[in-house]
């Protein structure tokens, strides 16, 4: 699915038109339809991705994974330890485990 078709799909899903999307993100009227024939500015693709809360890779068809990863969402993972102090080695191990769990989730 190409860029314009992905955007059309997302617009349909949200119940809006290209014109409404363009107004919402500050893109010239009718511009998105022209992206089938001309390369869009990356800033405009980013605006559309941000509007729909999807990645630019999803919009361009490089992946079917819609959600943001790492840089866009801040997550907090809390651990309670009854007053004990964590060593640097233990903190590193916790971080490695967190990365392992994230990797497993994306598979």
Is there a single domain that holds both residue 61 and residue 83? no
**10-63 residue pLDDT tens:** 999 999 999 999 999 999 999 999 998 999 999 999 999 999 999 999 999 888
Full-model pTM: 0.62
Reported as a pLDDT band with limits 50, 70 and 90, residue 88 is confident
Average pLDDT, the chain: 84
Mean local confidence (pLDDT), 69-96: 69
> What tokens were used for 30?
């009718």
Q: Report the alpha-carbon distance of residue 41 to residue 3 in Å, rounded.
A: 13
Question: Does one domain contain both 21 and 43?
Answer: yes
DSSP states along 18-43: HHHHHHHHT--TTHHHHTTTSPPPHH
Do 8 and 47 lie in one domain? The reply is yes
Question: In this structure, are 42 and 90 located in the same domain?
Answer: no
* Residues of the domain holding 91: 77-106
How many distinct structural domains can be found in the chain?
A: 2
The structure tokens 């980013």 sit at 46
The CATH number of whichever domain residue 51 belongs to comes to 1.10.260.40
Q: Are residues 62 and 10 in the same domain?
A: yes
Of 81, 56, 78, 85, nearest to 69 by C-alpha is: 56
The mean pLDDT value for 60-72 works out to: 73
Q: What is the pLDDT of residue 65?
A: 84
Classify residue 48 by burial, with Cβ atoms within 10 Å: 0-12, 13-18, 19+.
Answer: buried
Please tell me whether residues 84 and 41 are part of one structural domain.
no
Query: Are 37 and 82 members of one domain?
Result: no
Same domain, 44 and 81: no
User: Residue 46 contacts by C-beta under 8 Å, 6 or more apart in sequence?
Assistant: 56
Supply the pLDDT for residue 83: 66
């Amino acid at each position: 699915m190409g860029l314009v078709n992905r955007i059309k799909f997302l617009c349909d899903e949200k119940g809006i038109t290209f014109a409404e999307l363009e107004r919402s993100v500050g893109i010239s009227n009718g511009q998105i339809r022209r992206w089938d024939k001309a390369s869009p500015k990356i800033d405009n693709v980013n605006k559309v991705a941000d509007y729909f809360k999807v990645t630019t890779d999803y919009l361009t068809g490089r992946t079917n994974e819609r959600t943001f990863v790492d840089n866009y969402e801040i997550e907090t993972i809390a651990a309670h330890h009854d007053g004990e102090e964590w060593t640097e080695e233990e903190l590193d191990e916790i971080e490695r485990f967190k990365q392992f769990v994230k990797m497993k989730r994306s598979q």
